[in-house]
Amino acid sequence: MSELTPEVLISEEQIQSRVLALAEDISADYADGGELVMIGVLKGSFIFLADLSRRLSIPRTIEFIAVSSYGNGSVSSGAVRLVMDVRGNIEGKHVLIVEDIVDTGHTLKYLIGMLKSHRPASVRTAALVRKAESAEVDVTIDYLGFDIGDEWVVGYGLDFAEQNRTLPYIGVIKPTDG
């Protein structure tokens, strides 16, 4: 028996309905033209990016970026390091950064600044969940799925020690032996 049992916090149905609503908002906001490039932040965003991008009704391209901030621990150091940059040229394009979770906000703040240096037409942000109580820096999330408390969540891209990323729902890890 597994030591760690995720309990459902946000169901698959709730996620899918919210992702569709966000996709409709994004499609409307970018309908007037310009090139939209969605940039997924590895690894956690891969499922949210896949679902969100497939529900858009406007043209878009996909890029990925990778950063490192936590090292081997679970507490953010606040220091963000670029591990893999985008491959394509984003100059003059509308950039939408896609994150699974915003915790302290350091990662997203760093990415906004770094990507702006590539001279895109605009930079906006989407995140499936935000831990509002954990914010250490002020960062705008233009398209937010859900606010959650200060709990360790897994599923829909989110992991605990690389486990549980492919759960269709978001669950909370509760140690069984306290």
Q: So which residues are the catalytic ones?
A: 103
> What is the closest distance, in whole angstroms, from the C-beta atom of residue 59 to ligand PRP in the complex?
26
DSSP label at residue 7: E
User: For ligand PRP, which residue of 44, 120, 145, 171 counts as binding (CB under 6 A)?
Assistant: 44
Q: Nearer Cβ to ligand PRP, position 14 or 76?
A: 76
Could you tell me how many residues make up the chain?
178
User: For ligand PRP, which residue of 12, 18, 70, 152 counts as binding (CB under 6 A)?
Assistant: 70
SS3 for 113-177 is: HHHHCCCCCEEEEEEEEEEHHHCCCCCCCCEEEEEECCCCEEECCECECCECCCCCCEEEEEECC
The three-class DSSP label of residue 109 is helix
> What is the closest distance, in whole angstroms, from the C-beta atom of residue 151 to ligand PRP in the complex?
14
41 lines the binding site for ligand PRP (CB under 6 A): yes
Residues that bind ligand PRP (CB under 6 A): 41-44, 69-70, 76, 99-107, 159
